[in-house]
Structure formats: structure tokens, C-alpha cells
Chain A
Amino acid sequence: MIEIQRARIDVEAVVNSVRRDDAGAIVIFLGSVRLDPEVQALDYEVYKPMALRTLTELVERAKQKFGVLEISVVHRVGRVPVGGDSVVLACAAAHRSEAFAACAWTMDEVKRIVPIWKTEAGPRTPRIRPG
């Protein structure tokens, strides 16, 4: 499952999408909008066709690199309030060590190369949060 969507992410659905009988470990990462005095929400902007393509390539690379069985990534676009999940990543593997490693690596790469930008929405003028 690789999706970019406006709607709230159904975490259980993402987890279920990677379940397999031969997977003894599922690692889940939730990226949430953190409370900050100047931030009431984050607005996510995405270059969708390139983001989907990049995510698909990343997932394939992670599966080969770590030998994991399944990876799903769902990212939100638009406004996400404080406390909301902006990204959910689930990674299933035979054993937990490769599931943890693949989840961490994939999330770092998502942050590094997938064309998604966020702007802080707060009581004052919105500003684009630097990398």
C-alpha cells in the first residue's frame, strides 16, 4: 500500500496491509504533528506523481536491501492538526531486527528525497519549515 491522501490515516488498515503468515514481526512508525507554541497545524504540499513514483522505488529498494516481506507507506497532504498523524509506515519481516532496520531506513529516505513540503500554520503568518 502506497498512498498519498487528504483523509485521516487508518493505522490499522496500513498494518493489515503488510500482514503475512510468514511475517513474525511488524514495525510501525507514525509521524505526528508535534505541539509547538507557534504551530497549530502543518500544511503538507506534495508533487504527487513524483512522490508516488519515488515511494514505490524506495519500498522496492528497502525490500531488497533488508530482505523484508512487505512495506506500506501512507502520507497525508493538506492540513494536519497537532496530534494528527502525517505519515504511517508499516514494515513486515520474518524477524524484528530487519523490520526495525528497514522501517528506520525507509523513513529517513522518505524525509530525504520524497517531494513533500510542509508549512507551519499558526496564530501568526504561515511559514515554510526548512529541511
Chain B
Amino acid sequence: MQVQVRLFATYREIVGAGQLAWTLRDGTTVGQLVEAVLAKYPRLVGHGNSMLLAVNHEVVRSDSILREGDEVALLPPVSGGAR
């Protein structure tokens, strides 16, 4: 099956693209997809802990199972501005 991976801000700059088509085995989880993306783009590895994951515009846990055509977003921490 194929999913779309969306990347933003720092992650987009590291990967050099904002969107990637990714082919996966059925039953793959979001966490397994992220591991595959990090393996291909090792400069993302240091960002793994602060990464938020969303599927079809909704935040998900890493054990969520992906389905054909899903849009998976790897989200850096948002802009913030504490004060």
C-alpha cells in the first residue's frame, strides 16, 4: 500500500521535500513508518523525541495502523512563543 508523508519546517529542510510517497506492507504502524523515514534520512534522528505524528490531520499514537492513501504528517514542535 502507499501513503503520503508530509514534512514541515525543519524536517522539510532536512529531507529537501515537503511530501514523499511511501510504499509499505499492510499492517504497518505509524511508528514503523517513522523508523523507516529516520533510517533513510538520518539527520532527522535527533528530532525523533519531539516529533508529533498525525494521520489525516488528527494526532495519533505511534502504534496506529496505517491504511492505503493515508496522509501521515511528521510535525516539529510548533512555533511557541511562551510569553
Contact = CB atoms under 8 A, between A and B. Distances in A.
Interface residues on A, range: 20 to 34
B10 to A, nearest CB: 5
Nearest to B79: A118
A129 B57 contact: no
A130 interface: yes
Nearest to B7: A47
Interface string B56-77: 0110000000000000010111
Interface in B13-53: 13
Interface in A87-131: 111-119, 128-131
Contacts of B76: 117, 128
Interface residues of B, number: 17
B9 A128 contact: yes
A119 B9 CA distance: 8
A60 interface: no
B54 interface: yes
Name which of B6, B58, B76, B78 has the most chain A CB atoms within 10 A of its CB: B78
Contact of A111 (B8, B10, B81): B81
B54 A112 contact: no
B79 A129 contact: yes
13 contacts: A44-B79, A47-B6, A47-B57, A50-B58, A53-B57, A111-B80, A113-B78, A115-B8, A115-B54, A117-B10, A128-B10, A128-B76, A131-B77
Interface of B: 6, 8-10, 12-13, 54, 57-58, 73, 75-81
